[in-house]
């Protein structure tokens, strides 16, 4: 957790990029999600990392308290035959932390994170604090827990993606929101005769940056699911790095009503009326949504 914060400013994209050592480059594919959980009146962060490299696949679960102090970290290699299904227990002082998983029928897509056919559960002091996967019924029978009592919110995601000129990813822009297809294309604009950046969400152009050699760092607000999403990019590594350099993209979703009102003056914002803004306010109060950050490290493949 120490190298990943759910809230960033425009200048922080470059800092995040430099915080990764050279060992985290094209040799492995990593997808990391950060969840905020409330347990017995205390807030904690749970970081789940799925890693795929030349040696195989790994899964790690880390818990940090509200002061960003690590409580525990558990690591397994779930794709070996003996550990596709199992459990692990740690004692943190007087607190018992249990990890349960079943990946025997897990289905992978393009990345290291399974899409379906699995469950992953974390029990903190006999209280369910995290439940992932579509096999929730099986998980709750195993641990004898009520999933409705699990108040966990996805607040951040980090992923490494690879390509030559086109890069793809899937992500939500808020907890329990719709999963969107994100496409980032690095191309050449024949009109201005220079590099160009095109970002699409669900096959629709969200933003386009021309003269990228002059605007290799910047930000733009787009709208997804009726909410403003600030896109921050740093493609210096693509333009001025080596042949396998990387670029960094951050998508920051803002759910504060103040931010929504401010974004209405943007020329690319939808026609947001006072009635619609009031509706958004009611939705945010009902859903109790939190701001969400997605960071994509886009690596060039030779």
Contact 77, 52 (CB under 8 A): no
Query: Starting at the edge strand that comes first in sequence, how are the strands of the sheet with 70-76 ordered?
Result: 70-76, 56-65, 42-53, 28-39, 152-163, 292-300, 246-253, 227-234, 217-224
Looking at residue 262, its pLDDT comes to 57
- Measuring CA to CA, which residue among 161, 129, 162 is closest to residue 146? 129
Q: Is the pLDDT of residue 104 over 80?
A: yes
Give 104-113's long-range contacts (Cβ < 8 A, gap of 24+). Answer: 109/170, 110/168, 111/29, 111/31, 111/50, 111/52, 111/159, 112/29, 112/30, 112/31, 112/50, 112/51, 112/52, 112/57, 113/31, 113/50
Structure tokens at 265: 């003056």
Q: Is the pLDDT of residue 82 over 70?
A: no
Report, as an integer, the average pLDDT of 66-91. Answer: 80
Taking the C-alpha atoms of residue 96 and residue 194, their distance in angstroms, rounded to an integer, is: 57
Structure tokens at 93: 């002082």
Contact 129, 152 (CB under 8 A): yes
Q: Is the pLDDT of residue 19 over 80?
A: no
pLDDT above 90 covers what percent of the chain?
A: 31
Report, as an integer, the average pLDDT of 64-85. Answer: 78
DSSP H helices in the chain: 12-18, 136-143, 236-240, 257-263, 274-287
Taking the C-alpha atoms of residue 118 and residue 168, their distance in angstroms, rounded to an integer, is: 24
pTM above 0.75, yes or no: yes
Nearby residues of 19 by Cβ (< 8 Å), 6 or more positions away: 3
pLDDT above 70 covers what percent of the chain?
A: 75
pLDDT tens per residue across span 28-39: 688 999 999 887
Looking at residue 199, its pLDDT comes to 96
Looking at residue 3, its pLDDT comes to 42
- Measuring CA to CA, which residue among 179, 37, 176, 162 is closest to residue 112? 162
């Amino acid at each position: 957790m120490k190298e990943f914060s759910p809230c960033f400013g425009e200048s922080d994209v470059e800092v995040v990029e430099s915080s990764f050592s050279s060992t985290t480059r094209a040799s492995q594919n990593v997808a990391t999600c950060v969840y905020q959980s409330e347990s017995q009146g205390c807030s904690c962060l749970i970081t789940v990392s799925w890693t795929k490299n030349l040696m195989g696949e790994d899964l790690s679960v880390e818990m940090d308290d509200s002061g960003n102090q690590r409580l525990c970290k558990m690591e397994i290699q779930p794709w070996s035959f003996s550990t596709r299904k199992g459990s692990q227990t740690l004692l943190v002082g007087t607190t018992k932390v249990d990890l349960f998983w079943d990946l025997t029928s897990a289905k992978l897509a393009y990345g290291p994170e399974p899409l379906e056919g699995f469950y992953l559960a974390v029990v903190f002091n006999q209280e369910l604090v995290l439940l992932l996967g579509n096999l929730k019924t099986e998980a709750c029978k195993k641990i004898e827990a009520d999933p409705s009592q699990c108040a966990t919110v996805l607040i951040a995601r980090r992923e490494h993606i690879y390509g030559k000129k086109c890069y793809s990813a899937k992500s939500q822009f808020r907890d329990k929101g719709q999963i969107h297809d994100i496409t980032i294309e690095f191309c050449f604009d024949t009109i201005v005769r220079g590099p160009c950046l095109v970002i699409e969400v669900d096959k629709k152009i969200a933003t386009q940056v021309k003269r990228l050699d002059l605007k290799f760092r910047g930000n733009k607000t787009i709208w997804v699911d009726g909410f403003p999403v600030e896109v921050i990019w740093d493609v210096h590594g693509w333009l001025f790095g080596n042949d396998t350099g990387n670029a960094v993209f951050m998508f920051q979703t803002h759910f504060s009503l103040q931010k929504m009102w401010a974004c209405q003056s943007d020329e690319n914002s939808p026609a947001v009326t006072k009635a619609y803004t009031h509706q958004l306010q009611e939705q945010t109060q009902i859903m109790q949504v939190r701001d969400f950050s997605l960071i994509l490290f886009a690596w060039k493949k030779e």
